């Protein structure tokens, strides 16, 4: 049934809580609050830039979001602080089941790709730094078309790369807005709900919900 | 200099804290939390619908956001509850300075319009129910073009209605994303910052920041 399994990157393959570790060295008392507002602001700015048709690369956007977040926490910082904290995005931990999951999927002759809002200067160090890069066939960035997810054009990139039909793609994300966007485009979707959250239903529900990626492998086996 | 002053509706002319009053009768202990998540979800869904090119009218979107919010609070509800709570959006209080501000601006031969993401079935009862409707020349809804603010197309509606240049419009909003969108389109902007918040700078800062609309009148006098 499926020919390609496409994964989101931030929060789906790589654990965003790694950010908090790095922030702990910077400001122990507010690390959790800073990391949450940073990620929230990053997404909010991204959505609004897309609506305003004012694309900028994700690295610049992420640094801007960090400055806003630190200002809001009334924390002083210099250029070096911003660069060091930003570097946490290049060195996130992947979820521990990933290597096994990718090799199981490869063994079933499935293509494995990632589609991210990150640009290459963020994605390449992250993926290359990690041991899982060998199992990823294609790293796709929306930077190629300058339109962020969840725009239809961003998911269309997958069809350009793989020359498959929409029904042959399974799209996997931990972000409900990303699941909704991919489903809206016509893909079957898997929502990775690691924290027992309520799905933010905004038009399209996921085809399948799993609590980790091992469950994804089982589900793909049953639906081949 | 300016020929038309265009106001955002929700939060700028009408006080969103009126929502909390209505919710107090429904669930006293969680009214504040519900009203905040409701508004947050409403905006988030709106932004994402715009990006996914899946416009629906704001009344339906607002009810969907309410259902999500009540589910998340583990509150039982029926259709009648949703309709009654939704009706709070049709009966918001305007900020107390508005009648005076509008009549002062009219006295300077300025056109006064509103541009809202609300559709007519939400806007008309709200504006007609209030005493300020006589001073508003034009009620513009993005429903006419099925594209939400802050898309460039939404602000272009103002030029269609008024046949003015961008430099002749002053756009007034309490929502920083709306100020940014209007500035991005090329209007001078006023950010109404009633609660001493930090402006969420996402590309364009406001031309002027005021803490209430009386200050706007003074500023327009100086800049005529």
How far is the C-alpha of B117 from the C-alpha of B57, rounded, in Å?
A: 9
Which parts of B130-203 fold into alpha helices (H)?
152-162, 176-185
Boundary residue ending a domain (A33, A65, A90): A90
Are both A40 and A100 inside the same structural domain? no
The verdict on a CB contact (< 8 Å) between B48 and A151 is: no
Interface test with B, best of A48, A65, A171, A175 (most B CBs within 10 A): A48
Interface of A with B (CB under 8 A): 41, 44-45, 47-54, 64, 68, 71-72, 148, 150-152, 177, 180-181, 184, 198, 200-203
How far is the C-alpha of A99 from the C-alpha of A103, rounded, in Å?
A: 6
Are both B85 and B97 inside the same structural domain? no
The verdict on a CB contact (< 8 Å) between B47 and A47 is: yes
Are both B31 and B9 inside the same structural domain? no
Element (H, E) at A92: none
The ipTM (two decimal places) reads 0.96
Tokens of A5: 């399994």
Going by their DSSP bridges, the two strands B14-15 and B4-7 should be labelled as unpaired
Quote the domain boundaries for residue B62: 18-90
Q: B201: nearest CA in chain A?
A: A68
The verdict on a CB contact (< 8 Å) between A202 and B48 is: yes
Interface test with B, best of A202, A204, A205 (most B CBs within 10 A): A202
| Min Cα separation B68/chain A (Å) | 7
Boundary residue ending a domain (B65, B90, B115): B90
Q: Are A34 and A23 in contact (CB under 8 A)?
A: yes
Are both A122 and A190 inside the same structural domain? yes
* Tokens 């905004």 sit on residue: A202
The pLDDT score that the predictor gives to residue A223 is: 80
From the list B47, B68, B184, the residue facing A54 with the nearest CB is: B184
pLDDT > 70: percent of chain B = 100
The verdict on a CB contact (< 8 Å) between B47 and A45 is: no
| Min Cα separation A199/chain B (Å) | 9
The verdict on a CB contact (< 8 Å) between B51 and A200 is: no
Residues of A in Cβ contact (< 8 Å) with B151: 51-53
The pLDDT score that the predictor gives to residue A63 is: 97
Tokens of A167: 């029904």
Interface test with B, best of A52, A64, A75, A150 (most B CBs within 10 A): A52
Boundary residue ending a domain (A38, A67, A90): A90
Are both A194 and A105 inside the same structural domain? yes
pLDDT > 70: percent of chain A = 100
Residue B65, phi then psi, degrees to nearest 5: -65, -35
Are both B113 and B167 inside the same structural domain? yes
pLDDT in tens, A55-112: 999 999 999 999 999 999 999 999 999 999 999 999 999 999 999 999 999 999 999 9
Residues of A in Cβ contact (< 8 Å) with B150: 48, 51-52
Are both B32 and B43 inside the same structural domain? yes
Number of domains composing chain B: 2
pLDDT in tens, B135-170: 999 999 999 999 999 999 999 999 999 999 999 999
Q: Are A38 and A77 in contact (CB under 8 A)?
A: no
Taking all residues of chain A, what is their mean pLDDT, rounded to a whole number? 95
* Residue B134: CATH number of its domain: 3.40.50.1000
The pLDDT score that the predictor gives to residue B224 is: 66
The verdict on a CB contact (< 8 Å) between B52 and A184 is: yes
């Amino acid at each position: 049934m499926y020919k390609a399994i496409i994964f989101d990157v931030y929060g789906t393959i790589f654990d965003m809580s790694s950010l908090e570790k790095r922030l702990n060295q910077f400001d122990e008392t507010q690390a959790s609050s800073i990391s949450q507002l940073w990620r929230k602001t990053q997404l909010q700015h991204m959505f609004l830039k897309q609506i305003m048709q004012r694309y900028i690369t994700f690295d610049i956007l992420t640094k801007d979001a960090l400055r806003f977040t630190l200002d809001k926490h009334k924390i002083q910082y210099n250029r070096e602080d911003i660069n060091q904290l930003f570097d946490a995005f290049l060195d996130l931990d992947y979820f521990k089941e990933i290597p096994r999951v990718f090799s199981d999927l490869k063994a079933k002759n499935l293509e494995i790709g990632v589609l991210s809002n990150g640009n290459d200067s963020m994605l390449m160090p992250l993926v290359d730094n990690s041991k899982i890069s060998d199992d990823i066939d294609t790293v796709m960035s929306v930077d190629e078309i300058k339109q962020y997810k969840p725009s239809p054009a961003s998911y269309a990139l997958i069809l350009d790369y793989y020359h498959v039909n929409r029904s042959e793609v399974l799209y996997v994300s931990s972000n409900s807005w990303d699941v909704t966007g991919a489903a809206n485009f016509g893909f079957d979707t898997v929502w990775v709900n690691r924290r027992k959250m309520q799905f933010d239903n905004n038009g399209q529900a996921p085809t399948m919900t799993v609590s980790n990626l091992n469950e994804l492998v089982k589900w793909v086996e049953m639906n081949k």
